[in-house]
Amino acid sequence: MGKTKKTKRFAAVKRMINPHDQRIKKATPAKPKNGKDSDEIEVRHVAQAHSGLFLSHNESLGPPYHIIVDTNFINHAIQRKIDIVQGMMDCLLAKCTPCICDCVLAELEKLGPKYRLALRIAKDPRFERIVCTHPGNYADDCIVRLVTQHRCYIVATNDRDLKRRIRKIPGVPIMYMAETARRFNIERMPEAYGAPRT
């Protein structure tokens, strides 16, 4: 028996990176497009603190509290069988006025018949209605815009993304529902205004 002839496989050559490839080059700082030297100090715009804020306390926030309610906060309250107004009063130990935006009502109407009980609670006469004049009806943007303009609100939500956005705004407390307990909690509330000490 003779030896079988071995042939090289087609294109079985070691692949090599081109020495001029961009991935090999060291990271060099990019030159500014406007032609200025990098030695010059770049001036950044920092939003000015609201005039109603004094140190860490919001002076425009006091009883009776106005609380903007989000869609998922209403849904969580229904699941845990908590009366929203009574739960807010128990949390803050003061009179509370829940407020609801047109965007939140539109969001509840879009969710359909499964959330009709939440919609009925949102249309309760104890809830104060906030009329929205902006285009579009995305509730989170509307709430953030309202809270940025007027620092007299507390935001009631269980949405992580909305909480993250509101934490960036100084002087705005967040009311949320504790996962284990059947009660509301408040975060970033100054003790000077009657918030319960935890």
| Domain count of the fold of the chain | 1
Give the residue among 48, 70, 74, 87 at the shortest CA–CA distance from 171. Answer: 48
Q: Residue 171: its pLDDT value, please?
A: 82
55 within some domain? no
83 within some domain? yes
41 within some domain? no
36 within some domain? no
Taking residues 98-111, report their average pLDDT. 92
Q: Residue 193: its pLDDT value, please?
A: 46
Q: Which domain holds residue 156?
A: 64-191
87 within some domain? yes
CA–CA dist 121, 16 (Å, integer): 67
The pTM score is 0.69
109 within some domain? yes
**CATH number of the domain enclosing 126:** 3.40.50.1010
Q: What are phi and psi of 19, to 5 degrees?
A: -65, -15
Give the residue among 174, 167, 176 at the shortest CA–CA distance from 84. Answer: 176
Point out which residues pair with 101 in neighbouring strands. 130
Q: How far is the first Cα of the chain from the last one, in angstroms, to the nearest whole number? A: 90
* Percent of the chain with pLDDT strictly greater than 90: 44
149 within some domain? yes
- Tokens 């993304």, located at residue: 161
185 within some domain? yes
Q: Which residue has the higher pLDDT, 26 or 20?
A: 20
